[in-house]
Structure 1
Amino acid sequence: MSKPFKLGLIVAVISVAIDQIFKINMVEFMAGHPYGIEVTSFFRLVMVWNSGVSFGMFSGGEQTRLFLIAISTVISLILLVWLYRSDRKFLSTGIGLVLGGAVGNIIDRIHYGRVADFFDFDLYFMRWPAFNIADIAIVCGVAILLVDSLFFDEKSTKNEA
């Protein structure tokens, strides 16, 4: 096993663990706060169940849930293969974050039948849909993948020469 692969796996496992520990505690805690908790004027902790994908799109019943579990699992397996082939720690960290976030949300769909979201930002110019730690891991991982692709990927540096 290469060092970048091990690093990516560690990042993925830590991401899943943090996400799931937080969700287990928050689902129980938020049961006592059905209207949410205002933390600041623009941030609240809420309990939102998302049976769809981003922004609640494609919400549906049992068939949709099974389809989303299957698609997420296939994507996770592709990410695992990509991680195995990765030879850079930065790239592996990004893949590990995306993988960990995806697995965290798969666990939710299997365990709860939908994904638990808690963070609700209402900025003056826009309201962002509620999200969770797995979503944060995915977004951070994708940002790392973009930076890696733009600045550290051998293909992108060869094109400049």
Structure 2
Amino acid sequence: MPESSQPTSQARKGAALARWLALALAIVIIDQLTKIYFDGNYRYGERVNILPFFDFTLVYNPGAAFSFLADGQGWQRWLFTIIALSAVGLIVHLLRKHPNQLLFCTALSMILGGAVGNLIDRVQHGHVVDFLLFYWNSWYFPAFNVADIGITCGAALLILDELRRMRRERQRRAQSDAS
């Protein structure tokens, strides 16, 4: 029997997974390079004004988003490490299972890249390096980094993907009810 020149379904899935992991890796690389730059060129707490509402700064966050559990005496480092490792495993599984769902996998890849970027910081330093600070008058948004941007944008895309899925499902049901 002659071999088919068409790639197998498994090979196509593997190639798609590689593309999604490459996107996550790109986020990790950009995240780590920016953190190395700010950690090496700024003093802790130093702020450099860029715009009337935006500064570069160097702060360390031993907690999670918005400094949640930042004063946890160090145990939170391991809790967030376990959570991140679990998330990495789940995301890779979902990317393998659904490699052709563009929006879903883009979202998961962005979250994966961000989770791994912050995981590297936690393991290496015991805290996450943050350097982007937005504010207005006396209101300050907590400082964040490229990994956080990946996680936030990925979460927004996941919500969009779910809303689109629900809309398609509703349309399918309406069409089947009309038949």
TM-score normalised by length of structure 1: 0.90
Counterpart in the other structure of 2:63: 52
SS of the equivalent of 1:98 reads helix
Cα deviation per residue 1:120-157 (whole Å; 9 max; x = unaligned)?
A: 00124842110000000111111111111111x3x541
Partner Cα separation in structure 1 for residue 101 and residue 16 of structure 2: 6
SS of the equivalent of 2:84 reads helix
Question: Is 1:77 the counterpart of 2:83 in the alignment?
Answer: no
Counterpart in the other structure of 1:130: 143
Indicate the RMSD between aligned Cα atoms, in angstroms: 1.7
Counterpart in the other structure of 1:157: 168
Counterpart in the other structure of 1:118: 131
- Which consecutive unaligned segments of at least 5 residues does structure 2 have? 1-10, 175-179
TM-score normalised by length of structure 2: 0.82
Question: Is 1:140 the counterpart of 2:153 in the alignment?
Answer: yes
> How many aligned residue pairs are there?
158
SS of the equivalent of 2:141 reads strand
Letter in 1 for 2:124: H
Counterpart in the other structure of 2:7: none
Higher relative contact order (CA 8 A, sep 6+): 1
Letter in 2 for 1:90: L
- Which consecutive unaligned segments of at least 5 residues does structure 1 have? none
Question: Alignment identity in percent?
Answer: 31
Write out the 4+ residue segments of structure 1 that deviate beyond 4 Å after TM superposition: none
